[in-house]
Amino acid sequence: MQVVVCKNASEGAEIVTEEILSALSKKPELVLGLATGSTPIEVYERLICAHKEDGVDFSSVQTFNLDEYCELNADHPQSYRTFMREHLFGEINISEENIHFPPSEGPELAEKCLRHEEEIRQAGGIDIQLLGIGSNGHIGFNEPTSSLASRTRIKTLTEKTLRDNSRFYEDPSEQPQVASTLGIGTILDARRILLQAYGDKKAEAVKASVEGPISSFWPGSALQMHADVTFVLDESSAAHLEMIDYFRKSRTEGLRLQKDNTA
């Protein structure tokens, strides 16, 4: 596990965007796992900029979003499909058939979720998985006590998550109570994972995920079992980390080695 403590969220977004663009330049048919929420928005803005200003081509990229609400139409302003269209897909040259969301509508959802896992496998697996984290430690919509081996399925949202996201709904009765989400096991299958967390509201979840024991009570802690994961943080979200000085030092040393090797 790597932990990068940035001076602010913008520096974090730059690091994440650079890694995606570098991977894309080596593999045009990159398979990206994407997140919603406020955290990844600047990365999406930077990817749009790379497309519009530098001609970066997304036509062979495949995307798999982490989660989607179950009781909202695809075109509802709060659906994650609307979010992704507005914040990324509508502004780059990705093909509609290369965009995937976990099944969230209609009958036989459990079977459809299993087929979704198969679609990820057929695409060759997720190359880079972007993650945010909920203040209760959820990744995707894998709420506390989700099985660490879970696959794509429907989850009931916790009161904490509902409270955190209630600001998006004028009418509280419209807020969905259930969502479909890639499982923790599905997320851990990604080759590379980049988790961004910014602001003091995430500090407790970051501390538990990075330094706590692995526990389904803090789903982010499952990432400790992944061989290639980086937590990209700012000073506020990293503030509770006991090993913050070590993380700062290992970043400086890593940069120094990189410089020596390219000199």
Q: Which residues bind ligand GLP (CB under 6 A)?
A: 35-39, 66-67, 132-134, 140-141, 161, 165
Active site residues: 67, 136, 138, 143
Which residue, 156 or 252, is less far from ligand GLP as judged by CB? 156
Buried-exposed string 23-52: b where 16+ CB fall within 10 A, e elsewhere: ebeeeeebbbbbbbbebbbbbbebbbebbe
Whichever of 164 and 211 has its CB closer to ligand GLP, that residue is 164
Residues 6+ apart with CB under 8 A from 181: 66, 67, 102, 140, 141, 142, 152, 153, 154, 155
CB of 57 to ligand GLP, least distance (A): 27
Minimal distance, residue 197 CB to ligand GLP, in Å: 8
The answer to whether 219 touches 139, Cβ cutoff 8 Å, is yes
- How many other CB atoms sit within 10 Å of the CB of residue 228? 12
In the bound state with ligand GLP, the residue whose beta carbon lies nearer, of 56 and 231, is 231
Alpha helices in the chain (DSSP H): 9-26, 41-54, 80-87, 109-122, 159-165, 184-188, 203-211, 244-262
Amino acid type, 212: G
Which CB sits closer to ligand GLP, 39 or 129? 39
Least Å distance, CB 37 to ligand GLP, is: 3
Residue found under tokens 């851990």: 188
Minimum CB distance to ligand GLP, residue 140 (Å) = 5
